[in-house]
Amino acid sequence: MEVIIADDLELATLVADAVERLVRSESAPVLGLATGSSPLSVYDELTRRHEQDGLSFSSVRGFMLDEYVGLPASHPQSYHNVIDTEFVSRVDFADGAVQGPDGMADDLVAASADYDHAIAEAGGVDLQILGIGTDGHIAFNEPGSSLSSRTRVKTLANQTRIDNARFFDGEVDRVPQHCLTQGLGTIMEARHLVLIATGGHKAEAVHQMVEGPISSMWPATVMQMHPHATVLVDDSAASRLQLGDYYRQTYASKLDKERF
């Protein structure tokens, strides 16, 4: 696991660089897209490159991590709508090229299996963008999630509903109780995991993810088992890292800084 500590702008640039390299080098690239505030500066930077440098997403497929159960795609806070507003509609993805789990399906179990199948059919995810919850969840894999789980229905933890109430006018009761989420096993099949975390409220989760024992109590710790995982954090999110100085030194002396 590579840990890069930098400011928000630099983190966004580095992740956008990795996405751009992938998009320009593969004929049918597959991107894993996360919602939440953490990747927003990356989506802004990719949109800028699309507008100013002609970076095209017309051959790119996208798979979202998760979706609330029971929010129609047209709901402002459905992840389908959020990713469309924040990124997809701002660049040139082909119609239908970005999909997410169907949280409105009558049969959520079948919809979950179909989703894993669709990812596999597309050849798997090349680069998965991730954020992390304050309780260490990735996608919506809450503490206690099986480390080999597949896409499935989950019940949101209270902490997650409290954290996400800001998107529902501060009303926790309006945050759905259930979601469909890629499992930790599904996410681990992506060829490159790129996780972004900023702010002091993420510091404990980041410390556990990078340096804690692998445990379903901190689901993101599963990433320690991935052969190609990059964690990009700002100073605040890095503030509880025991080996922070070592990560800084390692990155400062890295020979090919563009590559991660």
Residue 63 engages ligand GLP in binding (rule: CB under 6 A): no
* Amino acid symbol at 258: E
12 lies in the binding site for ligand GLP (CB under 6 A): no
Q: How far is the CB of 116 from ligand GLP (least distance, A)?
A: 17
Tell me the number of residues near ligand GLP by CB under 6 A: 14
CB of 104: closest distance to ligand GLP in angstroms?
17
* Cα dihedral across residues 37, 248, 2, 135: positive or negative: negative
Position 183 contacts ligand GLP (CB under 6 A):
no
d(CA 52, CA 14) in angstroms, rounded, equals 18
Shortest separation between residue 192's beta carbon and ligand GLP, angstroms: 17
Tally of residues, the chain: 260
Structure tokens that stand for 172 in this block: 């926790």
> Taking a C-beta distance cutoff of 8 angstroms, is the pair 236, 204 a contact?
no
Q: Return the number of the residue (37 or 58) whose C-beta is nearest ligand GLP.
A: 37
For residues 125 to 164, the per-residue mask of contacts with ligand GLP, x marking binding by CB under 6 A and - elsewhere, is ------xxx-----xx-------------------x---x
d(CA 146, CA 211): 19
Radius of gyration of the chain (CA): 17
Whole-angstrom CA distances from 33 to 30, 38, 62 are 10, 11, 7
Q: Which stretch binds ligand GLP (CB under 6 A): 18-26, 31-39, 98-106, 250-258?
A: 31-39
* Region from 30-38, 92-100, 113-121, 184-192 binding ligand GLP, contact rule CB under 6 A: 30-38
What are the two backbone dihedrals, phi and then psi, of residue 196, each rounded to the nearest 5 degrees?
-115, 135
Identify the DSSP state of 172. G
Q: Tell me how far, at minimum, the Cβ of 32 lies from ligand GLP, in Å.
A: 11
41 makes contact with ligand GLP (CB under 6 A): no
Please report, as ranges, the residues that interact with ligand GLP according to CB under 6 A. Answer: 34-38, 65-66, 131-133, 139-140, 160, 164
